[in-house]
């Protein structure tokens, strides 16, 4: 199914061997591996790429003062044909410009495999607080997700600066040109995170948008927690506040397909799903059981097309628990969660005998409750 706004695209896996013919003064980037660097790049660029393929630090391939200079092109007139190959992929995309700065670095994958990643952006986007860190963000995101979930399967990745807020394809992502600092990190780690959901785990975003946008939003928060000692991590910004706002008005459940969802509500595909997984991990199952089950789902369904029911069943089986009550209320209904302490009474009227705490569900969703008791002397109990 081709791209169409909300729901984007849904494609089968296959091998792509493709050629892009462009004016000789343009740089071309695409999904997959460049097959003919000697035909389209200068010797200096090839050597710098070789250096970058061995470097954990960002290496400049075309710098600020080199953009548009004749010496950055193999020839000055006519066209060049760029040949790319991408295996076992749902799709490919490419970009071309005569105004790109270009840098690159290597990625260290858990298996010991080394791959190269690149960023291409205009001079206006450059800077140590902006796109000068794009490759660093891309490298750390891929390494974090590969270690936590499943290894990135392709040999390259590239981030292209452009006018889109964010768009993902296998091996290539597009992020907004004027983003800086935390905003750029968030865009990069989210868009490259889509290479796990739905590029590796090939769910159908056209019908079940939450199964990739929500899962990706969920793993993004853990990447932010790990990146550079939590440089951009804000625990208080977890999705609880966002979903609390949405629960006041949202009428449709997560299982509603994107084309039928009110545009004011589609943010729940991201935030509500992420919150659900966060609660399942930290409140219901615990991190150890959840992480094992979630990785089992990813491993079992890599390069396949899982339905939501495949996710639900895999999590039930791997966690060793019937979670159907959880799936029903969070994914198939628009019920709300509202739990309240309605009374606290001392046993026999004296604190020495303890207290009876009454908790009520004021709405329909049932969830475990964790109480933090603070005594008059400051001592706390969970």
State pLDDT tens for residues 286-295.
999 999 999 9
Contact 301, 317 (CB under 8 A): no
Q: What integer pLDDT is reported at residue 305 of this predicted model?
A: 97
Q: Name the pLDDT band for 243 (thresholds 50, 70, 90).
A: low
Q: What integer pLDDT is reported at residue 267 of this predicted model?
A: 87
> How many Å apart are CA 232 and CA 247, to the nearest integer?
27
Q: Name the pLDDT band for 381 (thresholds 50, 70, 90).
A: confident
Kindly tell me the burial class for residue 144, based on how many C-beta atoms sit within 10 Å of its own C-beta (0-12, 13-18, 19 or more).
buried
Q: What is the mean pLDDT of residues 68-88?
A: 96
Q: Is 7 a residue whose pLDDT tops 60?
A: no
Among 273, 172, 187, 182, smallest CA distance to 230 is for 182
Q: Is 86 a residue whose pLDDT tops 60?
A: yes
> How many Å apart are CA 200 and CA 303, to the nearest integer?
5
The bridge status of strand 59-62 relative to strand 94-97 is unpaired
Q: Where are the domains of the chain?
A: 14-200, 235-331, 339-381
Check residue 61 and report its DSSP letter: E
DSSP 95-143: EEESS-EEEEEEEE-TTS-EEEEEEEE-GGG-STTTGGGHHHHHHHHHH
Q: What integer pLDDT is reported at residue 184 of this predicted model?
A: 98
> How many Å apart are CA 307 and CA 25, to the nearest integer?
45
Which residues, in sequence order, are CB contacts of 216 under 8 Å at separation 6+?
190, 193, 194, 196, 197
Element at 161 (helix H, strand E) = strand 156-162
Looking at the chain, the whole-number percentage of residues with pLDDT higher than 70 is: 95
Q: Is 354 a residue whose pLDDT tops 70?
A: yes
Q: What is the mean pLDDT of residues 159-168?
A: 92
Architecture category of domain 14-200 in CATH = 2-Layer Sandwich (3.30)
Q: What is the mean pLDDT of residues 293-302?
A: 98
Backbone angles phi, psi at 251, to 5 degrees: -105, -15
pTM of the model: 0.93
Q: Which tens digits make up the pLDDT trace of 195-214?
A: 999 999 999 998 999 999 99
Tell the CATH topology of 235-331: Neutral Protease; domain 2 (1.10.390)
- Residue whose tokens read 């008005």: 249
């Amino acid at each position: 199914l081709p791209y169409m706004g909300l729901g984007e695209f849904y494609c089968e896996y296959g091998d792509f061997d493709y050629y892009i013919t462009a004016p000789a003064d343009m740089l071309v980037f695409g999904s997959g591996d460049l097959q003919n660097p000697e035909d389209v790049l200068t010797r200096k660029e090839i050597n710098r790429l070789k250096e970058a393929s061995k470097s954990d630090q960002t290496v400049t391939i075309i710098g600020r003062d080199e953009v548009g200079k004749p010496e950055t092109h193999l020839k000055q007139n006519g066209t060049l044909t760029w040949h790319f190959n991408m295996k076992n992929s749902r799709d490919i995309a490419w970009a071309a410009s005569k105004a790109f700065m270009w840098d690159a670095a290597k990625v260290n994958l858990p298996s010991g495999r080394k791959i190269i990643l690149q960023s291409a952006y205009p001079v206006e986007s450059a800077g140590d607080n902006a796109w000068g860190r794009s490759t660093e963000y891309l490298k750390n995101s891929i390494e974090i997700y590969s270690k936590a979930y499943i290894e990135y399967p392709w040999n390259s990745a590239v981030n292209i600066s452009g006018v889109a807020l964010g768009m993902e394809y296998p091996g290539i992502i597009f992020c907004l040109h004027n983003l800086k600092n935390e905003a750029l990190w968030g865009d990069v780690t989210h868009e490259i995170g889509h290479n796990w959901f739905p590029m590796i785990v090939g769910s159908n975003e056209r019908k079940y948008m939450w199964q990739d946008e929500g899962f990706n939003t969920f793993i993004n928060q853990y990447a932010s927690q790990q990146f550079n000692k939590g440089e951009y991590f804000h625990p208080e910004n977890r999705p609880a506040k966002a979903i609390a706002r949405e629960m006041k008005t949202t009428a449709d459940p997560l299982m509603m397909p994107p084309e039928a969802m009110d545009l004011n509500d589609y943010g729940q595909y991201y935030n509500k799903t992420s919150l659900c997984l966060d609660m399942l991990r930290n409140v219901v199952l615990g991190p150890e059981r959840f992480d094992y089950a979630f990785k089992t789902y990813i491993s079992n369904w890599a390069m396949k097309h899982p339905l939501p029911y495949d996710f639900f069943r895999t999590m039930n089986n791997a966690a060793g628990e019937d979670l159907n009550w959880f799936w029903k209320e969070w994914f198939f209904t628009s019920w709300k969660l509202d739990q309240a302490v309605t009374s606290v009474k001392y046993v026999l009227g004296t604190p020495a005998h303890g207290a009876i705490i009454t908790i009520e569900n004021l709405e329909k969703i049932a969830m475990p409750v964790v109480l933090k008791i603070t005594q008059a002397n400051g001592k706390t109990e969970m």
